[in-house]
Structure 1
Amino acid sequence: MKPTALSQTFVSALAALWLGCASAPSKPSSPPTLALQEATVPSQNLTEATVSYAGQVVSPVPGVLEKADYELVSEGQVVKTGSAALNVPLTANQPTAFSFQERAPYVRGPEDLKALSDKGGTMLLALRGTLTVRSGQDVQTLPFAASRAVRVPRLPQVSIESLDAARYSNTEVNMTFRVGVKNPNPFPLRLDQVNYTLRVGGKQLGEGTLAKADTVDASATGVYPLEASVTSETWGPDVKALISKGVLPYTLQGELAGPLLKVPYSLDGNVKLNVSK
């Protein structure tokens, strides 16, 4: 019996369906997995940090790790979002390493910085999001998250490292201050400027800038000299009576400023005078 046109059409359709299934890429029997992941902080300063994420992906079939869509998180708050193109080839069932990093501020202003400094201890920085893996026409996403604890940034401190006063006569005293800016952080501290106003015996003796566009090394103290003369020209006609007391009371006030940083300071004390030279 000859096959009918209908039966021939049915057989052709089955053959086409079988050929299509045979040529289509096989769908992975299981999703890709993360074999390893970690976060590190390669650099940090007073207001921002770089967070690096590294991991290993294992895919059951060959493919490409295309990208990472991520959030950078500081103390539970998202401070930046982004997408990193990776385009890393994946070999079936072989751990494949990849990495990316992001830099962002973790404070919004001087108030946030002061609150962190007052809190002390450590803070948690993290990168989290999804990885996109493509195998043929199949696209899968893989969640990731890793964090790292770092020391909380601490505000710098201003102090008088040393003070010398030389009495040259009953109407002249020269004072030399060594003003210290202590950086308690494990990273360099950038200063825009440190300004000051000096008062001696209740009268303003001078004002100006101690430092400008400077950097204090990690866990170090920057020292800035300040010289002032107490004379009738700088202090007034009653300077002899002031100097005769043998002790000069002083007040040094000002503000230390840097990126998102404003630290007012006020230092006072008494300096004992030597005998006239």
Structure 2
Amino acid sequence: MRTAPRATVRILTLAAWVAGCASTPPPAASVGPASLASEETTIASQGLTEMTLRYAGQLTSPGPAMLEKADYELVSDGQVVEKGSAPLGVTLAPDAPTPFSFQANAAYVRSPEDLRELSERGGTLLVALRGTLTVRAGESVRTVPFAASRPVRVPRLPVVRIESLDGARYSDEKVDLLVRLGVDNPNPFPLRLEGLTYAVTVGGRKLGEGTQGQADTVDAAATGVYPVEVAVTRETWGQDVRALIAKGTLPYQVAGELTGPLVRVPYSLSGDVKLNVSR
């Protein structure tokens, strides 16, 4: 039997190697790490107890890739108050800075005590969004850390005060007392109320009580005004009302509580109102 020449064997071996390479392509090279720039956290909205932060940045990938999601922590005053994951689905072209953003919401005040402590402290607190971005290029998955912070004004409790006071004397035995209670909102956002309770006392005797401002909203940096009216007469105050009115001034007290989400503000306002003659 004749043996094939060595040259023929080498040609057949080379042909088999080429055929094998054609049927099994080499694995794709993994894409290098993406770079992050222009990080910024802004306040999308803020309330007395909750806030929404917006994170924005620009991501550059050395090859085609997909920015899949952001796993984040929302931090307020050094404490993590919320964790979550935001789907993004942003296509990254090679070497092209690509903008992206997401929002996260959290309650940054947990109790009436926390709210009162922040209000008394005043100033600002630092809030931040931090975490990792997931970038996929084919079968390769990489994570990119991110973090951006900013200061915000602390929430402040509202203040109840006397907006105006008027005592109209109609006779020696009748005075109508009109008290306008003011609720000052010192915050740069609206304040939602649950109610403003009140009890009006004149000369040591309670003449009226009730609730105003239920489910009302006081605009940012504004004052809500709630009128309360009571009559000082023989029927409401007693037999000695003539002597009380003859003094020309009435000692009064208005006391109660302002309530809202995590808001508990007791108040007590007192003084003397000079009577005007009404005809």
Pairing of 1:94-243 with structure 2 (within 5 A): 94-243=96-245
Pairing of 1:83-94 with structure 2 (within 5 A): 83-94=85-96
> What SS does the aligned partner of 1:89 have?
strand
Shift of residue 23, structure 1, vs aligned partner: 2.9
2: CA distance, partners of 1:48 / 1:243: 50
2: CA distance, partners of 1:198 / 1:19: 93
State the TM-score, normalizing by the size of structure 1. Answer: 0.92
Runs of 4+ in 1 over 6 A off after TM superposition: 8-15
Aligned CA-pair RMSD: 2.2
| Alpha carbons 1:198, 1:206 under 8 Å: kept | yes
> What SS does the aligned partner of 1:148 have?
strand
| Alpha carbons 1:183, 1:219 under 8 Å: kept | yes
Unpaired segments ≥5 residues, structure 1? none
Change (3 A) 1:242 1:86: same
2: CA distance, partners of 1:128 / 1:14: 51
State the TM-score, normalizing by the size of structure 2. Answer: 0.91
Deviations 1:189-211 (A, max 9, x none): 11111110111111111100121
Shift of residue 19, structure 1, vs aligned partner: 7.5
Shift of residue 68, structure 1, vs aligned partner: 0.3
Query: 2:34 corresponds to which residue?
Result: 32
Q: Name the aligned partner's letter for residue 51 of structure 1.
A: L
Q: Name the aligned partner's letter for residue 148 of structure 2.
A: A
Unpaired segments ≥5 residues, structure 2? none
2: CA distance, partners of 1:118 / 1:14: 79
1: CA distance, partners of 2:144 / 2:271: 63
Q: Name the aligned partner's letter for residue 243 of structure 2.
A: A
> What SS does the aligned partner of 2:62 have?
coil
Shift of residue 18, structure 1, vs aligned partner: 9.7
| Alpha carbons 1:32, 1:142 under 8 Å: kept | yes
> What SS does the aligned partner of 1:212 have?
coil
1: CA distance, partners of 2:65 / 2:27: 15
2: CA distance, partners of 1:84 / 1:12: 51
Shift of residue 54, structure 1, vs aligned partner: 0.6
Change (3 A) 1:238 1:123: same
Q: Percent identity?
A: 60
Deviations 1:200-247 (A, max 9, x none): 111111100121111111111111111110111111222122222222
Change (3 A) 1:177 1:137: same
1: CA distance, partners of 2:278 / 2:262: 47
Deviations 1:141-172 (A, max 9, x none): 00000112111111111111111101112211
1:23 matches 2:26: yes
Change (3 A) 1:129 1:12: farther
Among candidates 49, 52, 61, match of residue 50 of structure 1 = 52
2: CA distance, partners of 1:175 / 1:267: 15
Change (3 A) 1:18 1:123: farther
Number of residue pairs the alignment of both structures matches: 272
2: CA distance, partners of 1:10 / 1:267: 101
1: CA distance, partners of 2:219 / 2:21: 72
2: CA distance, partners of 1:47 / 1:57: 33
1:266 matches 2:274: no
| Alpha carbons 1:170, 1:276 under 8 Å: kept | no
> What SS does the aligned partner of 2:114 have?
helix
2: CA distance, partners of 1:164 / 1:56: 61
1: CA distance, partners of 2:237 / 2:19: 107
2: CA distance, partners of 1:63 / 1:16: 30
Shift of residue 36, structure 1, vs aligned partner: 1.7
Q: Name the aligned partner's letter for residue 26 of structure 1.
A: A
